[in-house]
């Protein structure tokens, strides 16, 4: 992705179609992962109100912790995937937000 600006002109971003598709897929994957983390911890917390469901709540906390571990793995996979794509200047594309 390259950016150019001149004086008061708007900032213009140029990125290829493949890069945009890849970025969107990883963004969606990251959002789904974050939602799952929230669900596991919320339901696990609710299950801790009753002693009869504490065991299940503990497993949901473990599952939420695994999901937290998956988050940086998604970011790393996205970065590696984007580095394989050449940009318009012939270099690797790695600019942009990590999700």
- Asked whether 47 and 39 are in contact (CB, 8 A), the reply is no
Residue 8 lies in a domain: no
Examine the pLDDT at 21 and tell me if it is beyond 60.
yes
Q: How many distinct structural domains can be found in the chain? A: 1
Residue 1 lies in a domain: no
Residue 3 lies in a domain: no
CA distances from 26 to 41, 48, 52, 72, 91 (A): 23, 33, 38, 12, 21
Residue 72 lies in a domain: yes
Q: Which domain holds residue 87?
A: 16-99
Examine the pLDDT at 98 and tell me if it is beyond 70.
no
Residue 10 lies in a domain: no
Residue 9 lies in a domain: no
**Lowest-pLDDT choice from 6-15, 29-38, 45-54, 90-99:** 90-99
Distance separating alpha carbons of residues 26 and 97, to the nearest angstrom:
11
Taking the whole predicted model, whether its pTM rises above 0.95 is answered as no
């Amino acid at each position: 992705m390259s950016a150019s600006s001149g004086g008061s002109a708007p900032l213009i971003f140029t990125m290829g179609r493949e890069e945009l598709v890849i970025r969107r897929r990883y963004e969606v994957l990251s959002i789904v992962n974050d939602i799952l983390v929230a669900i596991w911890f919320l339901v696990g917390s609710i299950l801790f109100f009753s002693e009869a469901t504490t065991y299940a709540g503990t497993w949901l906390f473990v599952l939420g912790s695994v999901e937290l571990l998956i988050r940086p793995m998604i970011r790393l996979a996205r970065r590696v995937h984007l580095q394989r794509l050449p940009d318009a200047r012939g270099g690797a594309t790695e600019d942009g937000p990590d999700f």
